Amino acid sequence: MTALDPIPEGGFGDAVTRREDLRLTTGQGRFLDDIVLAGMAHMATVRSDRAHARIVSVDVETARQADGVLAVLTGADFAASGWGDIPCESMPPAITKGQWVRTPYPALLTDRVMAMGDLVAIVVAESRKAALDAVELVEVAYDDLPVVTSLEAALSEDAPQLYENAPGNRVFSAQIGDADAVEAAFAKATHVVPLTTRQPRMAHASMEMRGSIGVYDARMGRYELTTSTQNPHSVRRLLASSILKVPAHKVRVSAGDVGGAFGLKGRVYPEDVLVLWAAERLRRPVKWVPTRSEAFVADFHGRDQMADGEMAFDAEGRILGLRATTVHNLGCRLGPATGVSPFLSARMLAGPYAMPAAHVRVEGVFSNTRTTTSFRGAGRPEATYFLERMLDKAAAQIGLDPAEIRRRNLLTADQMPYKTALIDRYDCGDFKAVFERAVTLADWGGFETRRAQSAANGKLRGQGISCFVEVSALSNERMELRFDLTGAATVIAGTFSHGQGHHTLYAQMVQDWLGLPFEQISVVDGDTDQVAYGGGTYASRSVTVGGSALRRACDEIIAKGKTIAARLMQASEDELTFEKGLYVRRDSNERMSLSEVAVASYRVLGHPADLGVGLEATGTYTAQPQNYPNGCHIVEVEVDPDFGTVTLVDYIAVDDVGVAVNPLLLEGQLIGSTAMGVGQALIEQVVYDDAGQQVTAAFTEYGVPRATHMPPIRSELLNTPTDTNPLGVKGGAEVGTIAAPPAIIRAIEDAIGCPSASLTLPTSAEKILDALHKTNDKKKAKP
């Protein structure tokens, strides 16, 4: 990695260690399950063990009699409460034209379960153990219905129809791009390359599972939810506007430390609704923390997509056009963010290449599987995987090196801004320069020597490359900066840090921009009672939207402070300059610190009434346009031909994140996101059997990468700052998740000598041995 010399405090651009880490390394984090409230009861859930069935009856009487049980509540009880459904709010109207199938989504089901793990009833008891024990006493009678267990099954002609108003199990079928232009492009093509790719279904499997505590404040008539979320304001908005139908000020949502999310914890879940509902009924705080196997079946999943299409090339291997159809398995019903990934994926199929024409049909299907939602990268990994495997396959078909075909197609700085053939307009970047740097760093051309060295050790070595562009900075954001009457500053952030280290990043920014000492800056986030509005943290957005809004708040503070300082110093504002935290009167020794000005702003006597009371400012930023991080990652693997095991022996990452606010934290995001890409490439997959039973419901069944999977990573930045935001930054938290899978799979194919784009995700040892045997059989067959 880059040599860094971390420091405990510093400004914008410094490698500052995290102020969060003292509490996290000493066991003082406060996560959801660490919170104990007086009188707190515990909720456990009765879930469907069927994939698709009518609920005939729910017998709760025995459970109700059990020791410690306070209530057993069913779907019928919930329906009678009048609480609303969880809505889907992520289908882009401009693309779908509103044409998508709405699904009922009450927190407890009454008539039909549609996936294993669906919620049928809840038990609330004095202890978690009593609640879990009583769940076993609830008798649910089901009448099984025909099951659709996969994307492929949903598409088959004789598939059972899961919703009457969704013929062919289609949720939507929309299109972007220009079909006529693509037709014309294919007409003049020398090479046409077909490809189908399949993204496995993934489990976020954050180390801290979801979990919630509901409190009903009868005194104030107010609902208070503490939950493991990445976006408290979205949870509050959905609770207030769709479920409770009350003004937002009647609902408080807050979170403490959150143990990872990766898209899982972006919006409201049924269990959030149920703890509040139970709390109101029982007039006691109610906590729900799932078991891990419960989390695996209850949590929304990610990915599960098929992309099928063809690309047209000229004689030199230059891209002429792309046509593709992507199908996303959205599960049994739509969650709030279910529409995010399909449409992000569709638009990012434009890729980092000069692609004159493109047309994408994007479809969603229902199946008897868990609802899908964003998973780190959210659509960009799906798009990148298809494009990169397409270029690998095309390289083989046309007779080009995988690096060479990319070199001929990547966009350069002088082609910017570049309007893609789909939706986006890339504002800046030099994708080709990033690629060339990675190729040099990896010594791509010198690979055969290393292959021979590995061969001498009995190992098959391969190299793979992947280029990508992604889109980050979604939505808008609002940041407040408030000085208190001791002259210290608090950032009140609309973003929500759940492992990213924002409290450090924002303190760095404020130290730099306002010249305040590091320890005089604190950050508040994750509580709708303290933060007026916020977008939470997802999709590599926070440094761009939070940082840009904070920059504007700081600029306003400087201006407001100058007015106050001018009065105090009996100067005109024109005479004052602001440098390193000080207002300095030109051509004199007179100066006042911003903190002194802030203290003065609260004075009862001496502070002019027309300047108000206190010193604070609000900055906002709306990501119009968004920004486009990009990069090139190169992997070398060694495959053990006897066991089919893969070792990642070298990993080169060259990325363009615009500007690095804290290189130490950025590296953490880069490596961490790469680990998720490694997981997707090699081991991760949610599996349902033919009856719709989810068979991956433990860490022994769903593999996540371990320390032994991870390669050394050589990382460099080749940044092109963007002028679409005041900081020049681009997202940087998903790069490896996007780039790693295609590069790793290509490297394995290269190692074992099987055709390009023939292996599928995740590439297990079993698949590798199978491919090796086929390759060896072919070699033997040749004389």
Partner 1 sequence: MSKRIGTFNVNGKNADTIVEPQMLLVDVLREKLDLTGTKRACAAGNCGACTVLADGDPICSCITLAVAAEGREIETVEGLRAADGTLHPLQQAFIDHCAAQCGYCTAGMLMTAKALLEANPRPTREDVKRALSGNSCRCTGYVKIIDAVMDAAQQINAAKEVAA
Closer Cβ to partner 1, 177 or 302, answer by number = 302
Closer Cβ to partner 1, 364 or 499, answer by number = 499
- Owner of token pair 């130290």: 511
625 binds partner 1 (CB under 8 A): no
Question: What are the start-end ranges of the H helices in 221-339?
Answer: 232-238, 270-282, 292-298
> Is residue 506 a contact partner of residue 12, using CB atoms and an 8 Å limit?
no
Closest by CA to 90, choosing from 384, 373, 325, 422, is 373
650 binds partner 1 (CB under 8 A): no
Least CB distance to partner 1 at residue 26 (A): 6
Total residues in contact with partner 1, by rule CB under 8 A: 59
Closer Cβ to partner 1, 388 or 667, answer by number = 667
Closer Cβ to partner 1, 248 or 704, answer by number = 704
673 binds partner 1 (CB under 8 A): yes
Chain residues 194-223 in contact with partner 1, contact rule CB under 8 A: 204-209
Strand segments, DSSP code E, in 236-355 are 251-254, 286-288, 302-313, 319-329
257 binds partner 1 (CB under 8 A): yes
Closer Cβ to partner 1, 24 or 187, answer by number = 24
Q: Which residues pair with 223 in a beta bridge?
A: 216, 251
736 binds partner 1 (CB under 8 A): yes
- CA distances 173 to 97, 164, 223, 344, 643, Å, are 10, 17, 39, 15, 43
259 binds partner 1 (CB under 8 A): yes
Least CB distance to partner 1 at residue 711 (A): 9
Closer Cβ to partner 1, 78 or 262, answer by number = 262
With CB under 8 A as the contact rule, which of the stretches 243-251, 441-449, 540-548, 696-704 interacts with partner 1?
Answer: 696-704
Q: In angstroms, rounded to a whole number, what is the distance separating the alpha carbons of residues 761 and 759? A: 7
For 600-639, give the DSSP string: HHT-SSSS-GGG-SS-EEEEEEE-SS-B--EEEEEEEEEE
428 binds partner 1 (CB under 8 A): no
CB within 8 Å of 604: residues ≥ 6 apart: none
Options 265, 498, 503, 746; binder of partner 1; rule CB under 8 A: 498
CB within 8 Å of 701: residues ≥ 6 apart: 687, 695
Closer Cβ to partner 1, 315 or 707, answer by number = 707
Q: Tell me which H or E stretch contains 350.
A: none
For 460-484, give the DSSP string: EEEEEEEEEE--B--SEEEEEEEE-
Options 671, 687, 716, 721; binder of partner 1; rule CB under 8 A: 671
Least CB distance to partner 1 at residue 165 (A): 38
Classified as helix, coil or strand, 259 is coil
Q: Phi then psi for 576, rounded to 5 degrees?
A: -100, 140
Residue 83-122 contact track with partner 1, rule CB under 8 A, x = bound = ----------------------------------------
1 binds partner 1 (CB under 8 A): yes
Least CB distance to partner 1 at residue 664 (A): 5
Options 707, 766, 777, 783; binder of partner 1; rule CB under 8 A: 707
Closer Cβ to partner 1, 569 or 652, answer by number = 652
Closer Cβ to partner 1, 2 or 449, answer by number = 2
Least CB distance to partner 1 at residue 267 (A): 19
Residue 15-34 contact track with partner 1, rule CB under 8 A, x = bound = --xx-xxxxxxxxxxxx-xx
Classified as helix, coil or strand, 141 is strand
With CB under 8 A as the contact rule, which of the stretches 156-164, 447-455, 530-538, 707-715 interacts with partner 1?
Answer: 707-715
Closer Cβ to partner 1, 283 or 706, answer by number = 706
Closer Cβ to partner 1, 389 or 498, answer by number = 498
Closer Cβ to partner 1, 208 or 527, answer by number = 208
Least CB distance to partner 1 at residue 672 (A): 5
Q: In angstroms, rounded to a whole number, what is the distance separating the alpha carbons of residues 122 and 65? A: 14
Least CB distance to partner 1 at residue 39 (A): 16
Amino acid identity at 765: A
Closest by CA to 543, choosing from 666, 426, 630, 429, is 666
Least CB distance to partner 1 at residue 709 (A): 8
Least CB distance to partner 1 at residue 354 (A): 33
372 binds partner 1 (CB under 8 A): no
Least CB distance to partner 1 at residue 259 (A): 3
618 binds partner 1 (CB under 8 A): no
Least CB distance to partner 1 at residue 131 (A): 15
- CA distances 107 to 216, 236, 276, 281, 772, Å, are 18, 16, 11, 15, 48
Options 262, 385, 506, 578; binder of partner 1; rule CB under 8 A: 262
CB within 8 Å of 293: residues ≥ 6 apart: 697, 698
Q: Phi then psi for 652, rounded to 5 degrees?
A: -110, 130
Classified as helix, coil or strand, 562 is helix
Q: Which two tokens stand for residue 676?
A: 């998720």
Closest by CA to 427, choosing from 621, 619, 623, is 623
For the sheet containing 630-639, what is the strand order? 460-469, 630-639, 646-656, 713-717
Q: Angle between the 735-752 and 380-398 helix axes, to the nearest 10 degrees?
A: 30
Closer Cβ to partner 1, 216 or 262, answer by number = 262
Q: Residues in the site for partner 1, rule: CB under 8 A?
A: 1, 6, 17-18, 20-31, 33-34, 129, 204-209, 257-260, 262, 291-292, 498-501, 664-665, 667-668, 671-676, 678, 698-700, 704-708, 710, 712-713, 736
